[in-house]
Structure 1
Amino acid sequence: MVRTALSVVVSLVATALGYAALWQGGAVLMREAVRFDRTTDPLALPLVVGGLMLLAVAMLSVAMSSVGVMTVGVIHLLFGLVAVLDPSLPFIRLIAQAFGRDSTVGDGMLYSVSTGIGMLAGIVFVVTGLAALTGRSQKPGAVARAASVIVAIVAGPMGVLLAFMGGGLVYTDLVVLATGGFNPTGAVLLLVGTVLVGLAVLTLRWSSVGLAVLGLAIAGIGFFGLAEPGQLASIAGQVSRELSVTVQFAAPNGNLALLGMLLLAAAFGTLLRSRRWR
């Protein structure tokens, strides 16, 4: 009972503080990337890195109990579904404005939710908690490790690509064009991509290796996007315009790196949990 309560407190507090730091620093870096301004605020990057570490700590609380990460994940998914399935509601915008007019934290929340990053983070939190509850009790064998790697590196990247493409469509309608209409193509792509990422995370039931490989790859791309956002957006633009739209916001503000860090923390947290129960 104590571990459960502690996991909820740690996950909620670390998530709130982590997002505040990530969105604050990330918004500065994103504005500089858009303006091609190399005069970087000295506090922006440390805030982003600190935010990423705090959010990883929130995920690591799964080693104590699954309740905390599942609670955080459900909140993510609810906000994401409201933005995707009924964007005509001013709900998301009102919450963003509650942080203050022209608030970087409010803008960061709006970008995160409307581009689908929030839903991807939510599915990682929820499925990590479920996988930890029903996962392995014995050391995984070579077949389990290989299967986890194959499924994770196939389902994970495909899910991220589809979700980012769908998120680009939703973001364009919700924020850029402000049409407030439902975009069925964007919603379907985002939901299918989220499910595929969830499938990749579910490989934790077999082994942590596959998700660790996937997380390391996405984190590497994410940190490259922090350093060279223009190059990553240009590469994404060769795939589709919608993908490029999401990458333009997810890379320089640290959200892409966040996804990779959450996957790495999920793999490490469930590994710690399994060893604790052996």
Structure 2
Amino acid sequence: MPYSASPESVRTASGATDIRLIVTDMDGTLLDDDKQPPAELWTALELLRERGVLFSPASGRQYATLAREFSGAADGMVFIAENGTYVVRDGVELSSDPLDKAVVADVLETVRRLNADGVDVGAVVCGKRSAYVERADEPFLAEVRKYYVENRVVADATAVEDDILKVALFDFGPAERTTAPALAPFTATHQVVVSGEHWVDLMNGTANKGAAIRRLQRELGITPAQTMVFGDYLNDLEMLDTADWSYAMANAHPEVVRRARHLAPANTDNGVLRTIARVLGLPLFT
């Protein structure tokens, strides 16, 4: 059972406050429901940098989108993009886990069959340089632009010259009930994860946010006891296992709440920064 996020319980959740790495999901976690960061974020990043704490966004969003979000504070920051399939620091790739293009073609064929059956779903083929889509209707593109600032409409997404990191499917209906079951044949060899109410992501079986964090911890000599993570949806589950200080948002998916060690206030209540401030004693809300 997760701990409460009240100041009293945070102080008693662990005897140590030697946090060296803070990793947070973006949508539904750090950002509010309007996709906006908290006003205190930039001050928090300065204070964390002064204390030698590495702050790392971990998201299904592409690297270019994350880099734009943090453009004024990106120096030294590690970006865990595309659900852990692409990790970049100061413009240098630290790791990546591209898909076989035959798998990409099979997923796109599945999407075409869903469309033929009347399911309103579109595929986003996520490369290192750009995201590629075959649908050009404005309602679909509006959803794509929220997470993929670099995007291109192409005639055939299987023919692009890029390393493909994941395929993300946007379902205008409930993805967990419609699109995710259609990808069940891939689950024996690949990660298929519902990453939001309308999104399902397919990646290599070795790829997830948790695997990316574990590599980063090994490279930097940081332990789970020195790591704090925040998440809200199913693509955050493996990430929670990397940290003693693992937090589900109060309005997270029930599976995430069960998996996390602690509970933070909701993303609509600035839960990430309020929890960081309480644990590390940052003067953000005086």
Q: TM-score range by the shorter chain?
A: under 0.3
The structure richer in helix per residue is 1
**What TM-score do the two structures reach when normalised by structure 2?**
0.24
Point out the structure with max Rg over C-alpha.
2
The structure richer in strand per residue is 2
**What TM-score do the two structures reach when normalised by structure 1?**
0.25
